[in-house]
Homo-oligomer: A and B are copies of this chain.
Amino acid sequence: MDNSKIRDYIISPNLYNKNLTQELSGIDHFGNKAEISVIEERPLTIFLNDQEIVTAMTIGDYPEYLALGFLRNQKMLTDNDIVEAIDFDVELNMIVIRTKTKTNYEDKLKKKTQTSGCAVGTVFGDIMDEIEDLSIVPMSTKVSHLYDLSSKINKTPSLYLKAGAIHGTILCHKDKPLVYMEDVGRHNAVDKIAGWIFDTGTNPKDKILYTTGRLTSEMVIKTALMEIPVLISRSGFTAWGVNIARQVGLTLIGRLRGQRFICLSGESNLIWDVDLD
């Protein structure tokens, strides 16, 4: 991809923010001094009004989208909640989302903490109940678009290409990648996309989500909660991820490399417009 194509992105990889990588010195396999770019990783504690919710380990860009998206994907923020203010304190690594009225989640959380201390990952117990009632509106998807997206995304200059050790999640429309978020945790990258969608009021129902990471239950649940109908990845699947995708009607495509892929959910939504011979 030549640089002119970067302009097609609404948000492209954050290559010009010097706070996201560090130049570190060590030695290479010859014993020679080596200097490499290494991805930053810092804590960000997210508050919803007076309630401390979570501390995420993040690269540190777009903290407002990360916080909004995390709370949205936890259903702690709903369409009915009006965000009045977002206060980010860069010194204390803290961000506070303030809503007009107290959210119902604060009561839920108070109850939860009496029985359960902490949770690993970013998908909590009662999110599974939400999934039960969810049904994705299916969207037809051209196979040629999958190939175009994969090719464009892989050629886009990114922190991954510069420093490695980072995941990317990209919101796409048809054959165009629109918003490219990167983070040390793939759940953060997808939460940043969710925050951007919420903040801009973008329609998710005609979009495709691409992730560099694996198609685990967590990624599938977040995509479903975001009401995006298609999730694609260069990586593989977990069985529970596939089962949830089938349950909610999400089109799930993995191992997308070159012209190869495997589709394990929503096969009937694919339009075969490419002749591989």
Contacts and interface: CB of A to CB of B under 8 A. Distances in A.
Contacts of A39: 236-239
Contacts of A163: 236
A11 to B, nearest CB: 22
Interface stretch (A46-54, A82-90, A170-178): A46-54
Nearest to A252: B26
A265 B52 contact: no
A121 to B, nearest CB: 6
A118 to B, nearest CB: 5
A135 to B, nearest CB: 20
B29 A259 contact: yes
Contact of A118 (B53, B185, B215, B216): B53
A266 to B, nearest CB: 9
A116 interface: yes
A187 B57 CA distance: 14
A109 interface: yes
A218 B124 CA distance: 20
A264 B165 CA distance: 15
Interface string A195-238: 00000000000000000001111100000000000000001111
Interface of A: 21-22, 24-31, 34, 36, 38-42, 51-57, 109, 112-122, 124-125, 143, 163-165, 184-185, 187, 214-218, 235-242, 255, 259-265, 267, 270, 272, 276
